Amino acid sequence: MIAPVRPKPFLQPEYCKSCLRCIDACPRDCITPGKTINPATGLVPVELHLEACNGCALCMQACPEPYGLRPETEHPTGAFDFELEDPARIFGRKELSRPEARDQPDDFIPLPACEPMVLKGTYASAVGALLAGCRHVFGYPITPSTEGSELMAKILPKVGGHFIQAVSETAAVNMMYGAGGAGVPCMTFTSGPGFSLMLEGISYMIGAEVPGVFVNIMRGGPGLGNLGPEQADIKLACRGLGHGNTHAIVLAPGTPQEMLHLTMHAFELSFTYRNPVIILGDGFLGQMTGVVHLPALLTKPGRPAWAVCGDREHHLNLICSIHLAEDDLEAHNRHLNAKYALIAREEQRSDAYRCDDAEVLVIACNTPARMAKGAVEAAREQGAKVGLFRPITLWPFPIDALRKILPTVSRLVVVEGSPGQLEDELRLALSHAGIAPPPITPVQHYGGVLPSQDEILSAILSTYEVRS
Ligand code: SF4
Ligand code: SF4
């Protein structure tokens, strides 16, 4: 009996995206990477050498492009000028039978009990990311964040992950766009000047609803500034994430332990809302060591249905931030606004210390909150009714929790390592909530100088003098 002749493949070079899946699929090595750029697409299509081909069709099944590799029996007769045309017009509309993409949920795996670790803030963040299942880190070294990337560069290759030192922060953020768009957890470590360079890409990620975690260990500015622990990027993270209608959850940890937990949580938030999440540490926090307890569970990430990862289930997915029709873009912005409103409602986080009867309320975050806590304790010892309110989300500002504390408060003391960026966020949140703020005493340093406990204590006690 003569076996039926099975059709060999032919290639439409204009529809080949050079993914090379067909090369892996072919058992007879009939397909090789191309060497010539296709002028119509700018891509390099594969090349076929079909002498040994037995028409097994494995390459055609592997090709994610509906019109890339086709059976030779479908080869169009007559001239086909290989211009980019509607392939449906040439071949007829192709019915795609593909399994429907579904969300593959995360798995949570028990972590063996272990002793607490002593870690600096950047390391704690890196460990948190690993436990959250992040295996893709892209970055460009910049002090005081570099140790986070450095640790990832050492560990990731040993756990099947990838660290790529990009040629610049602009390149790094676009790698995050790609990895996040494929539905895998990814992150970067950076600091002020690098974060500034990433803003355009962050706007694209927000527009295309791509998750990713940005750990910004803030340093002094403007410009190159210095390596001191200025809280210089609150304004940028809360109000300036590139062009257009952009927002991202901004987390402000205060200890290495929170660097770990909030980094883990940032991945969860990032995928829940399909949006980047920013972690703002400061130069002290990045370098400061502290006791860190590991969680009971680590995450094995699933894969969201929307991911653009090129397999059969997902290959019709599309991620982009362009909406050329004005109505479409307005509708997309309305969708983003609804997401921002949901985040503002659901994701406010804060910590309140001795606030129940507070007449004076100190507001501070990151490392300055530690000095502020010491000042609150010292002031309490002198009989002052004072508490500390620590926003953990800077956007959305935790106004709901603050509103509950304010009825007993007659004065605010805002402590920060910046010339008023935290105070601006506070005032804006109060204004949007229709709350008239009590008088505010600012305690500010910048350039990397942080307010001292004594200064904050003096400011607290001075508010009593003002009132007496
Ligand atoms: S049909 Fe089979 S043998 Fe021929 S090129 Fe494709 S995979 Fe290779
Ligand atoms: S699988 Fe299809 S798209 Fe990918 S390289 Fe081969 S022909 Fe091109």
Give me the architecture of the 350-467 domain, per CATH: 3-Layer(aba) Sandwich (3.40)
Bridge partners of 10, per DSSP, are 70
Go through 369-393 and write b for each residue having 16 or more CB atoms within 10 A of its CB, e for each that does not: bbbbbbbbebbeeeebbbbbbbbbb
Rounded to whole angstroms, the Cα distance separating 256 from 290 reads: 6
* Ligand 2 and 48: CB distance under 6 A: no
Q: For ligand 2, atom 1, name the residue with the nearest CA.
A: 63
Specify the domain boundaries for CATH 3.30.70.20 within the chain: 9-75
Specify the domain boundaries for CATH 3.40.50.970 within the chain: 110-346
- To test ligand 1's pocket by mutation, which of 16, 20, 30, 74 has the most ligand atoms within 8 angstroms of CB? 30
Which pLDDT does position 310 carry in this prediction?
77
Query: Which atom of ligand 2 is found nearest the CA of 31?
Result: 6
* Ligand 2 and 378: CB distance under 6 A: no
Ligand 1 center from residue 89 Cα (angstroms): 26
Ligand 1 center from residue 48 Cα (angstroms): 9
Which pLDDT does position 465 carry in this prediction?
67
Query: Which atom of ligand 2 is found nearest the CA of 18?
Result: 5
Angle 389-394-400 from CA coordinates, rounded to 5°: 60
Which pLDDT does position 91 carry in this prediction?
60
Rounded to whole angstroms, the Cα distance separating 419 from 207 reads: 30
Rounded to whole angstroms, the Cα distance separating 444 from 341 reads: 31
Ligand 2 center from residue 69 Cα (angstroms): 7
- Phi/psi at 417 (5° precision): -100, 50
Q: For ligand 1, atom 2, name the residue with the nearest CA.
A: 56
Ligand 1 center from residue 47 Cα (angstroms): 12
Query: Which atom of ligand 2 is found nearest the CA of 63?
Result: 1
Ligand 1 center from residue 308 Cα (angstroms): 26
Tell me, yes or no, if the pTM score tops 0.85: no
Note the ligand closest to the C-alpha atom of 28: 1
Query: Which atom of ligand 2 is found nearest the CA of 69?
Result: 7
Q: What is the dihedral of CA 76, 80, 83, 85, to 10 degrees?
A: -40
* Ligand 2 and 70: CB distance under 6 A: no
* Ligand 2 and 68: CB distance under 6 A: yes
Specify the domain boundaries for CATH 3.40.50.920 within the chain: 350-467
CA 114 to chain centre: 29
Ligand 1 center from residue 78 Cα (angstroms): 25
Note the ligand closest to the C-alpha atom of 48: 1
Ligand 1 center from residue 309 Cα (angstroms): 24
Please give, one letter per residue, the 3-state secondary structure of the chain: CCCCCCCCEEECHHHCCCCCHHHHHCCCCCEECCCCCCCCCCCCCCEECHHHCCCCCHHHHHCCCCCCEEEHHHCCCCCCCCCCCCHHHHHCCCCCCCCCCCCECCEEEECCCCCCEEEEHHHHHHHHHHHCCCCEEEECCCCCCHHHHHHHHHHHHHHCCEEEECCCHHHHHHHHHHHHHCCCCEEEEECHHHHHHHHHHHHHHHHHCCCEEEEEEECECCCCCECCCCCCCHHHHHHCCCCCCCCCEEECCCCHHHHHHHHHHHHHHHHHCCCEEEEEEEHHHHHCEEEECCCCEEEECCECCCCCCCCCCCCCCCCCCCCCCHHHHHHHHHHHHHHHHHHHHHCCCEEEECCCCCCEEEECCCHHHHHHHHHHHHHHHCCCCEEEEEECEEECCCHHHHHHHHHHCCEEEEEECCCCHHHHHHHHHHHHCCCCCCCEEEEECCCCCCCCHHHHHHHHHHHHHHHC
Amino acid, res. 278: I
Q: For ligand 2, atom 8, name the residue with the nearest CA.
A: 16
Ligand 1 center from residue 443 Cα (angstroms): 72
* Ligand 2 and 14: CB distance under 6 A: no
Rounded to whole angstroms, the Cα distance separating 238 from 221 reads: 17
* Ligand 2 and 22: CB distance under 6 A: yes
Which pLDDT does position 79 carry in this prediction?
46
Ligand 1: list residues with CB < 6 Å. 8-9, 25-26, 28, 30-31, 53-59
Ligand 2 center from residue 80 Cα (angstroms): 20
* Ligand 2 and 63: CB distance under 6 A: yes
* Ligand 2 and 65: CB distance under 6 A: yes
Looking at domain 110-346, what is its CATH homologous superfamily?
Thiamin diphosphate (ThDP)-binding fold, Pyr/PP domains (3.40.50.970)
Ligand 2 center from residue 379 Cα (angstroms): 70
Per-residue pLDDT tens, the chain, 468 aa: give them: 566 789 999 998 888 989 899 999 999 999 999 999 988 788 899 999 999 999 999 999 888 887 789 898 877 664 445 455 566 666 666 555 567 788 999 999 999 989 999 999 999 999 999 999 999 999 999 999 999 999 999 999 999 999 999 999 999 999 999 999 999 999 999 999 999 999 999 999 999 999 999 999 999 999 999 999 999 999 999 999 999 999 999 999 999 999 999 999 999 999 999 999 999 999 999 999 999 999 999 999 999 999 998 787 887 788 999 888 899 999 999 999 999 999 999 999 999 999 999 999 999 999 999 999 999 999 999 999 999 999 999 999 999 999 999 999 999 999 999 999 999 999 999 999 999 999 999 999 999 999 999 999 999 999 876 555
| Per CATH, domain 9-75 is 3.30.70.20 | yes
Q: For ligand 2, atom 3, name the residue with the nearest CA.
A: 16
